Amino acid sequence: MIDFRNSEVIENPYPHLAELRKFDKPIWHPELNVFLAATHRDANEVLRNKGLGRIYQDRVPESEWQVFNWLHSDSILDSEPPKHTRLRGLVLKAFNRNRIESLRPEIARITDSLLDEISNKGGVFDLISDYAEPLPVKVIALLLGFPPEDEHLLRPWSQAIVKMYEVNPPLDHQREAQKAAQEFADYVHTLMEKRKQVPQNDLITELTQVHEAGDRLSTHELIATCVLLLNAGHEASVNGFGNGMVSLLQNEAQRDLLIANPDQHSETAVEEFLRYDSPLQYFERTATSDIEISGVAIKQGQKIVSLLGSANRDESVFANSNEFDVTRHPNPHIGFGAGIHFCIGAPLARLEMSVSLPALIKRFPNLSLAQDPIRRETFSLRGYEKVLVKN
């Protein structure tokens, strides 16, 4: 059975996931006590089936995990209707498509500024730390209303928290997550209180004021929402962009095609970035009643995992599924999930990548890998630590 902690699986999970798809139904993983849904059909069904819920189980002891627990139990990601419906409705009043689209000029400005800094360095640069990472962090910090001098705090907090989404995280990661949750929650709470006294034109201010039929976000819900928006607002962008660029630079024909027509192919290229090497690979749900998926009985209380990266390589849905194609269309990937838990940060991630990808290609048309990229040692959230490139 597949071992999600095995270094070979983390480096290249796709041959292993292809073996799971051959069963053509969810299969039981005895070590993890979960079903694995590997086909596009089944993984998509896991995300959409109303008999499955995103049920957060508090970590123990409570004295060590109290803040981490409510950051999740009071978030959109780890709640189900009717609470999920209420929270998502309130949040989308502030974090809506019009507000996101209004960020386009600022995203273009930040992108150009980062590219100018890279140009001034000359030679080799890190595609992750110099470009893919600072752009979405700066954008989400601007959107939420975090002071620029505190931007450096956000990514480390986020990375410490999301490491807990991996399979059986080690003790040192657990301790780091507890510390990050406490520090992040305290920081957002302080900023929230300041915005209540002196409102500003930012998302934290709007979230403190938003209401529907007399209902508002509680303090815990608001803090949890800000933490989730930070994570959802940049993790997919950083990893999706980094994974896609490595795939592009390792494929000379596709690289040349995109360089020749960056404006024409960038939109489909972004979607292929998200499909071919998906930033989110593992999403777990729990049966809230007895259900059946592809003839397999899932009993109430049992867990099943949507393997998104596997679904996005399903040969029955994607022609030449193991080939990277920046012109692929249609491209019905589920890289951002599906159903009620479709990634709330997806529109922002798509906007950032649709601006930053052609800008990078136009500025550095001779871009190539300077050395083998260094991958993060994680399966669920798939990305790179460092990608050194040269122009």
- Sign of the CA dihedral with 386 first, then 387, 390, and 391 last: negative
Q: Is 301 left (phi over 0), alpha (psi -120 to 50) or beta?
A: left
- Where do we find the tokens 């949750």? 181
Contact of 76 with 368, CB cutoff 8 Å? no
The pTM assigned to this predicted structure is 0.92
**69 has pLDDT over 70:** yes
Region 148-166 average pLDDT: 89
Nearest-10 Cα torsion for 28, 34, 40, 45: 110
* 46 touches 282 (CB < 8 A): no
The predicted structure's pLDDT at residue 213: 62
Long-range contacts of 2-9 (CB under 8 A, 24+ apart): 2/29, 2/36, 4/32, 4/166, 4/167, 4/282, 4/379, 4/380, 5/167, 5/168, 5/379, 7/377, 9/379
Specify whether the CB–CB gap between 106 and 201 falls below 8 A: no
Q: What is the model's pLDDT at position 227?
A: 87
- Kindly state the average pLDDT of the residues 313-320: 98
CATH of domain 7-390: 1.10.630.10
Query: Is 80 exceeded by the pLDDT of residue 94?
Result: no
Q: Where in the sequence numbering do the catalytic residues fall?
A: 232, 235, 237, 343, 352
pLDDT band at 93 (very low <50, low <70, confident <90, very high): confident
Q: In what side-by-side order are the strands of the sheet with 303-307?
A: 27-29, 34-37, 303-307, 282-287, 52-53
With a cut of 90, say whether residue 210 has pLDDT above it. Answer: no
Domain boundaries, given as residue ranges, for the chain: 7-390
Task: Examine the pLDDT at 163 and tell me if it is beyond 90.
Answer: no
pLDDT of residue 391: 84
pLDDT-derived band at 44, boundaries 50, 70, 90: very high
Interval 100-121 mean pLDDT: 95
Tell me the range of 56-60, 84-88, 254-258 where mean pLDDT is highest.
254-258
pLDDT digits (tens, 9 = 90+) for 218-277: 999 999 988 888 877 678 889 999 999 999 999 999 999 999 999 999 999 999 999 999
The average pLDDT across 114-131 equals 94
Mean local confidence (pLDDT), 62-73: 94
Report the percent of the chain where pLDDT is more than 70: 99
DSSP helix/strand/coil, 125: strand
pLDDT band, residue 212 (cuts 50/70/90): low
Between 53-67, 212-226, 292-306, 373-387, the lowest mean confidence (pLDDT) is in: 212-226
Contact 376, 115 (CB under 8 A): no
pLDDT given at position 92: 84
| Residue 10, pLDDT score | 95
* Long-range residue pairs from 147-150, CB within 8 A, at least 24 positions apart, any chain: 150/187
Q: Render pLDDT for 349-371 as a digit per residue (tens, 0 to 9).
A: 999 999 999 999 999 999 999 99
